[in-house]
Amino acid sequence: MSHITLSAINFAWLPILPLAAVAAGAMAIMLIGPGVEDEDSAGLGILALITLLAAMVFAIFTLGENSLAFGGSLATDDYAAFFEIVILIATALTVAMSLDYVADEGMAGAEFYSLILFAAFGMMLMAAAGDLIIVFIGLETMSLAVYALAGFLRRDPRSNEAALKYFILGAFSTGFLLYGIALIYGATGSIGLAPIRAALNDRAAQNPLLLLGLGMMLIGFGFKVAAVPFHMWTPDAYEGAPTPVTAFMAVGVKLAAFAGFMRVFMANLGPVSAQWTMVLWAIAALTMTVGNFAALVQQNLKRMLAYSAIAHAGYLLVGMAATPRAMAGGAMLYYLVGYAFTNLGAFAVVIALERKGAGGATLSDFRGLSRSRPGLALAMTLFMLSLMGVPPLAGFVGKFYVFSAALSAHLVWLVIIAALNSAVSVYYYARVIVVMYAQEEAAAPPRLAAHPGLVVSVIAAVAGTILVGLYPQPWLSAANSAYASALGRPAARVASLR
């Protein structure tokens, strides 16, 4: 072990501040929480929101930092800061939409909010990983917290089933990832991402150990982003988990999984992209098609959104299949921002409509929503249109950039499959709108529709969906420079550190 000098300590403080803030907040809630009654748990949620806000300020301070900390294991580049900020926004919206749900369902607030923050910590760690061990630690910190969150409705068998399925398949996939990490270490002699990239040449690309490691890691990440054929756990886990947790799984976990996936594969295994882009081509085509066609027949909105999340992972993988193109990475980061706002909003509407103990809203719960809750119906319409990919919303612009990146990489057939899939998806998204506007009112009124936390999160999601789509330029240039920082600068920095 090399000697750690004092300058290394000073150097290391800024990069970990956003992470440390989230962890400290989680521990504070763990200590204060047990003294708070479950009905008053909203106070703990507010504490979580303050923590997330503080972490966001720190993350903004680290923008433009572009350095490696802790001997190269933590990358503090714009890529990490970009993902940290988006993950913090997504977590904050999740907490905001949980405030009333958690109190209403009688869930233990101390554990709920601290686990949400610990999961957010793991997600941010994954985005900021400078070596494969940190990718793994971040993934585990996130996953273990989310497994527990998925089973949080302890008396609901569906929630138990969700947690168990998610845990067993998640642990299984983590094994693949870890084995892949070990094989790549064996092939390149390093766990640091930048040294691995430096070790990749034409000769290394023929090394069977490396190829086996690539395949294993692809399976591991495939499980986490819910790509077909590793998607089996998704619908059941999404349906059974408490709805705010489902939103967190669909957005936060997906953001973090793609953050790790993209940094490891696109940015650092890019030199051998010829070895894995063809596999991604097939996975992307399968993921889009299976996700969209399975979503067509769903009556439960949570299940439908689960399959929709699978389909969107497929669209994102189209970008990954275009890897040597630098614009693909920026387009995917932009897509993820729009995806985050839109999906969080859609899940917030589901929370507003579902009845206690019903385990999510069905299509019939949306009947006549345009008359009983016109504002909510309008917001849901917007989210569905954005998921469909209708201009000028965030979903359209994201798809446009990702597909143009794929076209510039000459993936014409994949883009045609993606466009056909988008057309198929119109059916099940539009059905929600039709039910809301064309059918008469449902009997029972929604239970949480007007609670402040939900109203705020729906409004924030609407604002995000419109602004990200209408003014794409600032977001896109931020995304492009973030991806560029993951591609280039840290490698040069590592060379100078040696």
Phi, psi dihedral angles at 75 (to 5 degrees): -100, 120
Smallest gap from Cβ 23 to other proteins, in A, equals: 8
Residue closer to other proteins, measured from CB, 35 or 357: 35
Write the CA distances from 430 to 369, 426, 433, 438, integer angstroms: 14, 6, 5, 12
Q: Which is nearer to other proteins, 32 or 424 (CB)?
A: 32
User: Least distance (Å) from other proteins to the CB of residue 83?
Assistant: 24
Taking the complex as a whole, how short is the minimal distance between the CB of residue 4 and other proteins, in angstroms?
5
Give the interface with other proteins as residue ranges (CB under 8 A): 1, 3-4, 6, 8-9, 27, 30-31, 34-35, 207-208
Question: How many other CB atoms are found less than 10 A from the CB of residue 218?
Answer: 23
CA distance 60 to 211: 38
Q: Comparing C-alpha atoms, which of 289, 276, 267, 272 is closest to residue 413? A: 289
The sign of the CA dihedral 454, 456, 459, 463 is negative
Nearer to other proteins, 29 or 322 (CB): 29
Nearer to other proteins, 30 or 467 (CB): 30
The DSSP 8-state label assigned to residue 7 in this structure reads: H
- Calpha distance 77→484 (Å, rounded): 10
Separation between Cα atoms, residue 348 and residue 425, nearest integer Å = 21
* Least gap, CB of 27 to other proteins (angstroms): 5
**Three-state secondary structure readout of 366-413:** HCCHHHHCHHHHHHHHHHHHHHHCCCCCHHHHHHHHHHHHHHHCCCHH
Closest separation between CB of residue 30 and other proteins, Å? Answer: 5
Q: How many CB atoms lie within 10 A of CB 205?
A: 15
276's tokens: 């894995």
What are the DSSP E strand ranges found in 390-488? none
For residues 242 and 107, is the Cβ–Cβ distance under 8 A? yes
The pair of structure tokens assigned to 39 is 């009905």
Q: Minimal distance in Å, beta carbon 9 to other proteins? A: 5
Least distance in Å: CB of 8 to other proteins?
A: 8
Least Å from the CB of residue 177 to other proteins:
22
Of 9 and 444, which CB lies nearer to other proteins in the complex structure?
9
Residue 286 C-beta: closest distance to other proteins, Å: 33
Shortest distance (Å) from residue 203 CB to other proteins: 9
Q: How far apart are CA 384 and CA 40, in angstroms?
A: 34
- Spacing of C-alpha 329 from chain mean position: 15
Which of 182/467 has CB closer to other proteins? Answer: 182
DSSP state of 184: H
> Please, what is the minimum distance in Å from the beta carbon of residue 171 to other proteins?
17
* Percent helix, strand and coil across the chain, each to the nearest 5: 80, 0, 20
Reference 207, options 264, 269, 268, 262; nearest CA is 269
In whole angstroms, what is the distance from residue 397 CA to residue 468 CA? 9
The smaller minimum CB distance to other proteins, of residues 6 and 444, is found at: 6
Name which of 16 and 227 has its Cβ closer to other proteins: 16
| Pair 397, 472: CB distance under 8 Å | yes
Residue whose tokens read 């988006």: 86
Nearer to other proteins, 4 or 416 (CB): 4
Residues 350/301, Cβ–Cβ less than 8 Å? yes
Question: Between 33 and 398, whose beta carbon lies closer to other proteins?
Answer: 33
Cis status of the peptide bond prior to 392, with omega within 30 of 0: yes
Between residues 207 and 481, which has the closer beta carbon with respect to other proteins? 207
Work out how close the CB of 204 gets to other proteins at its nearest, in angstroms, rounded to a whole number.
Answer: 9
Strand (E) or helix (H) holding 211: helix 208-224
Nearer to other proteins by Cβ, of 30 and 60: the residue is: 30
